[in-house]
Structure 1
Amino acid sequence: MPADSPEFSRPLALGRVGPEGRTEVLEASEAERAALARRFGILGIEALHATLRLSPEPDGAVRVEGRLEAAVTQECVVTLDPVAQQVAEAFALRLLPAGREPADGPDDLDEIPTEDDTADLGEVVAEQLALALDPYPRASGAELPPEAQAEAAGAFAALAALRRKG
Structure 2
Amino acid sequence: MTADLGWSHEVRLVDLSGGPLNLDLEADDAVRAAIARRLDLKELKSLRAKVRLRPWLDGAEMSGRFEAVVEQVSGVSLEVFDQDVSGDIEVRLVPAGSPHAPDPEAEIELDPESPDPPDVLEDDRIDVAAYVVEHLALELDPFPRKPGETFEYAQPSDDDSPFAVLKRLKDEKG
Measured at CA, do residues 4 and 124 of structure 1 come closer, stay the same or move farther in structure 2, by a change above 3 Å?
closer
1:138 paired residue number: 145
Measured at CA, do residues 110 and 75 of structure 1 come closer, stay the same or move farther in structure 2, by a change above 3 Å?
farther
105, 118, 124: which one aligns with 2:125? 118
Task: Report the 3-state secondary structure (helix = DSSP H, G, I; strand = E; otherwise coil) of the residue aligned with 2:145.
Answer: coil
Count of residues in correspondence between the two structures: 146
After superposition, the C-alpha distances for 1:54-97 in whole angstroms (9 at most, x for unaligned) are 1101x212011110010111110111111201112112111211
Contact 2:60 2:94 in 1 (8 A): yes
Task: Report the 3-state secondary structure (helix = DSSP H, G, I; strand = E; otherwise coil) of the residue aligned with 2:118.
Answer: strand
Contact 1:76 1:138 in 2 (8 A): yes
How far off is 1:136 after superposition?
2.1
- CA-atom RMSD, angstroms? 2.4
How far off is 1:137 after superposition?
1.6
Task: Report the 3-state secondary structure (helix = DSSP H, G, I; strand = E; otherwise coil) of the residue aligned with 2:30.
Answer: helix
Provide structure 1 residue ranges, at least 5 long, that are not aligned to the other structure: 150-166
Measured at CA, do residues 33 and 4 of structure 1 come closer, stay the same or move farther in structure 2, by a change above 3 Å?
closer
Contact 2:2 2:129 in 1 (8 A): no
Contact 2:46 2:69 in 1 (8 A): yes
1:80 paired residue number: 78
How far off is 1:16 after superposition?
0.6
1:27 paired residue number: 26
| TM-score, normalised relative to structure 1 | 0.77
1:91 paired residue number: 89
Measured at CA, do residues 134 and 27 of structure 1 come closer, stay the same or move farther in structure 2, by a change above 3 Å?
same
1:55 paired residue number: 54
Are 1:67 and 2:74 counterparts?
no
Provide structure 2 residue ranges, at least 5 long, that are not aligned to the other structure: 157-174
Measured at CA, do residues 110 and 89 of structure 1 come closer, stay the same or move farther in structure 2, by a change above 3 Å?
farther
The one-letter code sitting in structure 2 at the alignment partner of 1:36 is I
Task: Report the 3-state secondary structure (helix = DSSP H, G, I; strand = E; otherwise coil) of the residue aligned with 1:142.
Answer: coil
Q: Considering only CA atoms, is the larger Rg found in Structure 1 or Structure 2?
A: 2
The one-letter code sitting in structure 2 at the alignment partner of 1:115 is E
| TM-score, normalised relative to structure 2 | 0.74
After superposition, the C-alpha distances for 1:10-62 in whole angstroms (9 at most, x for unaligned) are 111111122421111111111111111111111111110001111101x2120
> Alignment identity in percent?
33
